[in-house]
Amino acid sequence: MTKYDAIVVGAGHNGLANAAYLAKAGLKVVVLEKNPWIGGAAVSREIQDGWIYSNCSYVCSLLRPEIFRDLDLSRHGLQIVPYGGGVTCTSSGDILGNYTDHDVQRREFARHNARDGDAYHRYSTDVMRQCRFIRPLLLRTPPDPTSFRVRDIREMVYLSREFAKLGEQVIYDTIRFYTMSIADFLGEYFESDLVKAHLSGSGIIGTALGVYSPGTAYVLLHHYMGEVDGSSGAWGFARGGMGAVSKALASSFKSFGGEIRTDCDVDQLVVRGGKVRGVALANGDEVHADIVVSNLDPKRTFTKLVNEKDLDPAFVERARNFKIRGSSGKLNIALDGLPTFPALGPDNPLRFGDMHFIDSLERLERAYDDWKNGTWSKDPYLDLLIPSMTDPTMAPPGKHFMSVFVQYVPPKIHGRDWTDADRDAFRDTVVEQIARHSPDFKQLVRHIEVRTPRELENEVGLTEGNIFQGELTMDQLLFNRPFPGYAQYRGPVKGLYMCGSGTHPGGGVMAAPGANAAREILLDLRKPNTVPEGWTDD
Amino acid sequence: MKPEMNHKLHFRTAVYQTPFHPRTSALNVLNEWHRWKDYTTADAYFDETLEYAAIRNACAVFDLTPMTKHRITGPDALAFLNRLVTRDVAKIKPGRVGYCVWCDDNGQVIDDGTIFHLRPGDYRLCSQERQLDWLARSARGFDVSIVEDTHDVAALAFQGPTTCAVLKKMGLAGVEKLTPFGIGFFPFAGGELMVSRTGFTGDLGYELWIEPGRALALWDALFAAGADHGIRPMGTHALEVSRIEAGFVQAGVDFLPADAAVRIDRTRSPFELDLGRLVDFTKPVFTGRRALLEEQRRGSRYRLVKLDVEGNKLARSSYIYDRARNVVGTVTSAVWSPAAKTNIALASLKMPWGRPGDELWAEIYYQRELQWAKVMARCRVIEGAFFDPPRRRATPPADF
Ligand SMILES: Cc1cc2nc3c(=O)[nH]c(=O)nc-3n(C[C@H](O)[C@H](O)[C@H](O)COP(=O)(O)OP(=O)(O)OC[C@H]3O[C@@H](n4cnc5c(N)ncnc54)[C@H](O)[C@@H]3O)c2cc1C
C-alpha cells in the first residue's frame, strides 16, 4: 500500500488549496472526499438537465488574488466575472438601488434621504480603512499572544505596528467596530431605515445574530474585504458556478502530481503512540501518512474524525463548545424564463445584481426572533441573484438559474429534527416572498432544490449547517480561531492539521485558510515555503 | 430647464445635461465631454489654446452649473457658518463673497469653497464635494436650515478683460461698481440675475447665477452682447490652465478631502495648503481650532509651494528633490503658463523645504516623438500668483 506524505480529508476548496501548495512543495498528497463530487460548499452541480446550480456558495469576492495568480487558476480555467450592485425592493413598490456608479448611487440614496446620499462617502471611507487593516492579515498565520517564541513575538510586533499606524482615533474606532452591532454602526452614518436595512444584510449573512447583536459589524467587514480585480468590496460570479473555483484548484493540484479520491468517506483518524499515522475509511480501508490535514469544521474534526479519547478533556470541551450554529438556507431554482420584477422595471441594471425584499431593521430583527424561537423566518432576508443573466453557461438560452440565499433558518425546528414537511413549508415561505415582488415568478419555476441546515450538514458536512464552519465572532476570530492556542493550523495530536474555514481567517470562498495551513506544515517539515504571504497592495 | 433627478428612473440618465446644454452642445464641435458629478461638461469646445487665450485677452464662458451649492438660512446661519469654517464669516457682509476652508476636528481640510452672503442671514455655500453629511453633523444645536440646491441654480463663469463691458452692454446697470467679491442683483428676462465678481481664473471676471428656466435666455443675451468683444465658450482644460496660473488649489487634485482619506496621513491642514490667512484664531470656536493651534505650536508637516520650473518640460506628478537628492515632495498641479511664459507647478513639500531660495529639483519624464527621456529641472519657490493682472482688482474695470 502506498504511503503518502500527507492526506487531506475533504475536497472543499480549502482542502484543495492546501493540497495544491503541499504538492507544489514536492509532497506526495492525496485528497479524500466523501462525496462523489469535489468542492464542498464551493460546488456546481447539474441537477436539472442543462442547468448548473451553484448549490451552496454562489458569489465570489473573497478568493485571495495572490492565490489565484500563484496557483495559476486562470490557466486552470477559472474566470471571475463581476456583477454590478444590489437592490432592496420595498413593500410599497419602491426600490433602493445600490448602483455601481458613484453619482447614480449618491442620487439614489439621496432620493430616500438627502443627507444619506452624501454620508455614503464617509461610510465607505471608514469601512475601507478597516479593510486595509484586515487584508494584510488574511494570508498570515495569527500569532499566539501567549507564546514567547521568537516568531510569535515578531508577529505580535508586526500586528501592533500595523495597528499603531492606524492612528489614535482609528484605533478607538477599530476596537469599537469589532464589537458593535451592524445597526449601531450604520446608525453612525445613515438616517433612512431603508438604507440601513439594505446595507445591514452583509452583517447577518450566515450568522446566528441579529442586526442589533454586537459583533455583526465585523461580519459586514468580512463581506467587504474582498475584491474583484482591485475593485474593493466588489462581488462577481465564478464562470460556471462556484464549483469552477474548486475545479481550478483541483486542476492546479493535479498539475503538481496530486491525487483526489472521491466517494471516500473518512471514518477515523488513525493515531498511534500519540502520532498521526493515517486515516481509516468507512469501507474499512486505511490510508497512511504522517500528516493528516482536516478540511472539516473544527467541531466535526474533533468530535467525529478524531476519537475523543485521543484528546485531552479540556480540548474536547473546547471543540464541543465551538460556536457553529446553523442560521441559513438556500433555494436553487431552475426557471423556464426570466421573471419580471415590476418595481425594477425591464431595464434597471440592478436586475443583474443582488436583490432583497426586507426594507427595515425592524423586519430584520423579527426575522432573527423567529430563528431564536426555533423556526425559520416567516419574513426572511433573501439574497437573490440570477447568475444566468450574466453567465451564459448556467442555463440554456432563455432559461434561468436563480440562487436564493435565506437568512434565518435554524438547525432544528423547536428542538427536533427537520422533516420533509418542514422543508417544503420553508420553501413555500421563500417562494411566496419572491412572488410578492414578481407576479410571474411562480409559473416560471421548473425545479427547486431546497437546502436547510439539515441538507447542508448531511451533504457538505457543515456542522449544524453553519456556512462559515463556525461563527465569525470575536471569540472565534484571529488567534481565537478555532480555539485559543490552536490558531496556527496545528491540531492537538502530532501530525494533525486543520485547513478549513473554521480556521483563520474564516469562512467564505477565500482559499486563505488552506494556503496558510500549508505554510505551517511546510515549516514543520523544514521545506521551503511555497505559499504567498501578506498582500500585494500597499 | 432644471433636470429632474429625484425619481426612481434617474438611473436611465446616469449623466445629466445642464440647462445650458442646447447651447454648449451646439458649440462643442470637438465633442469632448467629461463628467462632473451629475452632469456632462465640456473639456474643450473648439481649441483649448484659443479658449484659454479668450480668458486672458477677451472673455470666455464656462458652464459652472455642476458646482455643488448649498443654501444656508435661519436665525443661526451666521453662527453655524462661523463654527464651520476657519475664517470670520461675520466679516462677509450682505452682498459679499468670501473664500474659505473647513476642517475636521483634527484641523484637516475637508473642502474649500465660497460663501455668498446673498441677503442678510441668507447664505450660499459652494464647494467641490457634496457636503450635506458634514454640514448636517456640524449643525447640531444650531437653528439653521441647510438645503443642497445644486440643480436649482444654473451658473456661468464669465472671465476675461472685456467681461465688464459685455455685462454693461447686456444692460446690467451699475455692474461696473461691483468690487472683487461683490454680489449684485439685476432684473433679467422677467426674473432676477445674480452676478458676483468672482472666478477661478485670477483675472477680471464674474459668475452669473440664474434660475434654470432662464438659463438659455442668459446664454443668448451674453453671447449677443459679447459678439463684438471676443466672447468664446471655454472648457475645463482652458480653465485649468488659468486656475494654476492664479495659484488656486483644487480639492482632489492639490489636496485630498479629509473625509475621503483612508490613509490618515494623506490629509492637509490649511497651513499646509498655504491658506493660513483663512484661519482666524480670534474666533473663540470653530471646528479644528484646537488642532490648528497645536499645529502652530508644533509646526506643520507640509508646505504647498508655487514653483517656477526651469526649462519647458511639464513637471506633472514629478518628485521634488533637495540638493542631496532626497525626495522632499511631489508636484500636485503643473502647466506651462502662457500668460507668464513660465513653466509652473504647485507642489506639496515636506517641512522645512519650500523656503524661498531653497535648492529644489523636479524629476521630469517627458516624451518626444514616442521616446521617453528624463531631466532634473531646477525649481525656484516663488511667492504670490504666477499671473496677477491689475485689472483683476480695478473698479470700475476698464472695457478691455
Ligand atoms: C449555502 C451557502 C452559501 C454560501 N455562500 C457563499 C458565497 O456566496 N460566497 C462565499 O464566499 N462564501 C459562501 N459560503 C461560505 C463558503 O462556501 C464556505 O465557507 C467555504 O466554501 C468552505 O470551504 P472549506 O473548504 O473550508 O470547507 P467545506 O466546503 O465545508 O469542505 C469540506 C469538505 O469535506 C468533505 N467531508 C466532510 N466530511 C468528510 C469525511 N468524513 N470524509 C471525507 N470528506 C468529508 C465535505 O464533503 C466537503 O467537500 C456559503 C456557504 C453555504 C453553505
Give yes or no for a cis peptide into A482 (omega within 30° of 0).
yes
Is-contact A243 A42, C-beta < 8 A? yes
Cα of A11 vs centre of ligand 1, distance in Å, is 9
Q: What are phi and psi of B179, to 5 degrees?
A: -90, 165
Looking at CA atoms only, how far is residue A157 from chain B in angstroms?
Answer: 21
Atom of ligand 1 nearest to the CA of A16: 25
A106: nearest CB among B130, B136, B262: B130
Residue B384: exposure state from Cβ atoms within 10 A (0-12, 13-18, ≥19)? exposed
The span from the CA of B170 to the CA of B179, in Å, is 19
Q: Minimal Cα distance from B262: which residue of A?
A: A129
Distances in whole angstroms, Cα of residue A36 to Cα of each of A4, A25, A459, B9 = 22, 27, 11, 48
β-pair type (B231-233, B59-63): parallel
Q: Which CATH superfamily is domain B1-300 in?
A: Probable tRNA modification gtpase trme; domain 1 (3.30.1360.120)
- Say yes or no for a CB contact (<8 Å) between B14 and A117: no
C-alpha cell at B7: 425619481
Q: Where are the domains of chain B?
A: 1-300, 302-384
Say what the pLDDT of residue A2 is. Answer: 81
Looking at ligand 1, which residue's alpha carbon is closest to its atom 32? A12
3-class state of residue B141 by DSSP: coil
Task: Enter the DSSP assignment of B398.
Answer: P
Domain B302-384 grouped into CATH 3.40.50.12280: no
Looking at ligand 1, which residue's alpha carbon is closest to its atom 6? A57
Q: What are phi and psi of B395, to 5 degrees?
A: -135, 125
- Whether the pTM exceeds 0.90: the reply is yes
Q: What are phi and psi of A224, to 5 degrees?
A: -105, -15
The span from the CA of A204 to the CA of A409, in Å, is 12
Say what the pLDDT of residue A534 is. Answer: 82
- Say yes or no for a CB contact (<8 Å) between B259 and A166: no
β-pair type (A275-281, A286-294): antiparallel
Task: Report the 10 Å Cβ neighbour count for B340.
Answer: 15
Residue A62: exposure state from Cβ atoms within 10 A (0-12, 13-18, ≥19)? buried
Looking at CA atoms only, how far is residue A111 from chain B in angstroms?
Answer: 6
- Say yes or no for a CB contact (<8 Å) between A104 and B37: no
Chain B interface disruption, residue of A99, A112, A121, A186, most B CBs within 10 A = A121
Task: Enter the DSSP assignment of A445.
Answer: E
Say what the pLDDT of residue A536 is. Answer: 66
Is-contact A385 A376, C-beta < 8 A? no
The span from the CA of A59 to the CA of A82, in Å, is 9
Say what the pLDDT of residue A13 is. Answer: 98
Q: Minimal Cα distance from B37: which residue of A?
A: A103
- Say yes or no for a CB contact (<8 Å) between B260 and A121: yes
Is-contact A466 A454, C-beta < 8 A? no
DSSP state string for B261-293? -SSGGG---TGGGT-GGG--TTSS--TTHHHHH
Size of interface A-B (CB pairs under 8 A): 69
Chain A residues inside the 8 Å CB shell of B130: 106, 117-118, 121
pLDDT digits (tens, 9 = 90+) for B143-191: 999 999 999 999 999 999 999 999 999 999 999 999 999 999 999 999 9
Distances in whole angstroms, Cα of residue A202 to Cα of each of A67, A207, A219, A225, A381 = 24, 10, 7, 12, 11
Residues whose beta carbon lies within 6 Å of some atom of ligand 1: A 9-15, 32-35, 40-42, 56-59, 62, 265-266, 295-296, 328, 330, 405, 456, 460-462, 467-469, 500-501, 507-509
Looking at ligand 1, which residue's alpha carbon is closest to its atom 14? A57
Is-contact B117 B100, C-beta < 8 A? no
3-class state of residue B72 by DSSP: strand
- Say yes or no for a CB contact (<8 Å) between A111 and B37: no
Alpha helix ranges (H) inside A323-419: 361-372
Chain B interface disruption, residue of A104, A113, A174, most B CBs within 10 A = A104
Is-contact A295 A18, C-beta < 8 A? yes
Q: What are phi and psi of B287, to 5 degrees?
A: -65, 125
3-class state of residue A18 by DSSP: helix
Atom of ligand 1 nearest to the CA of A513: 26
Say what the pLDDT of residue A159 is. Answer: 86
Q: Minimal Cα distance from B40: which residue of A?
A: A103
Is-contact B95 B183, C-beta < 8 A? yes
- Say yes or no for a CB contact (<8 Å) between A132 and B10: no
Extract the residue ranges of chain B whose pLDDT is less than 50: none
Say what the pLDDT of residue A229 is. Answer: 83
Chain B residues inside the 8 Å CB shell of A99: 11
Distances in whole angstroms, Cα of residue B80 to Cα of each of A32, A68, B109, B120, B298 = 68, 52, 17, 14, 29
A119: nearest CB among B12, B106, B133: B133
Element (H, E) at A504: none
Of B77, B106, B113, B110, give the one whose Cα is nearest residue B94: B77
Distances in whole angstroms, Cα of residue A280 to Cα of each of A294, A309, B391 = 13, 16, 93
- Say yes or no for a CB contact (<8 Å) between B264 and A118: no
Atom of ligand 1 nearest to the CA of A264: 43
Is-contact B199 B207, C-beta < 8 A? yes
Kindly give the confidence (pLDDT) of every residue in chain A, 538 residues in length, as a single tens digit, with 9 standing for 90 and above.
689 999 999 999 999 999 999 999 999 999 999 999 999 999 999 999 999 999 999 999 999 999 999 999 999 999 999 998 999 999 999 999 999 999 999 999 999 999 999 999 999 999 999 998 899 899 999 999 888 899 999 989 988 888 888 888 888 888 899 999 999 999 999 999 999 999 999 999 999 999 999 999 999 999 999 988 888 889 999 999 999 999 999 999 999 999 999 999 999 999 999 999 999 999 999 999 999 999 999 999 999 999 988 999 999 999 999 999 999 999 999 999 999 999 999 999 999 999 999 999 999 999 999 999 999 999 999 999 999 999 999 999 999 999 999 999 999 999 999 999 999 999 999 999 999 999 999 999 999 999 999 999 999 999 999 999 999 999 999 999 999 999 999 999 999 999 999 999 999 999 999 999 999 999 999 999 999 998 766 6
Q: Where are the domains of chain A?
A: 324-462
Interface confidence (ipTM) of the complex: 0.94
Mean pLDDT of chain B: 97
Looking at CA atoms only, how far is residue B266 from chain A in angstroms?
Answer: 12
Looking at ligand 1, which residue's alpha carbon is closest to its atom 50? A57
Chain B residues inside the 8 Å CB shell of A169: 106, 264
Say what the pLDDT of residue A1 is. Answer: 66
Atom of ligand 1 nearest to the CA of A451: 1
- Say yes or no for a CB contact (<8 Å) between B11 and A348: yes
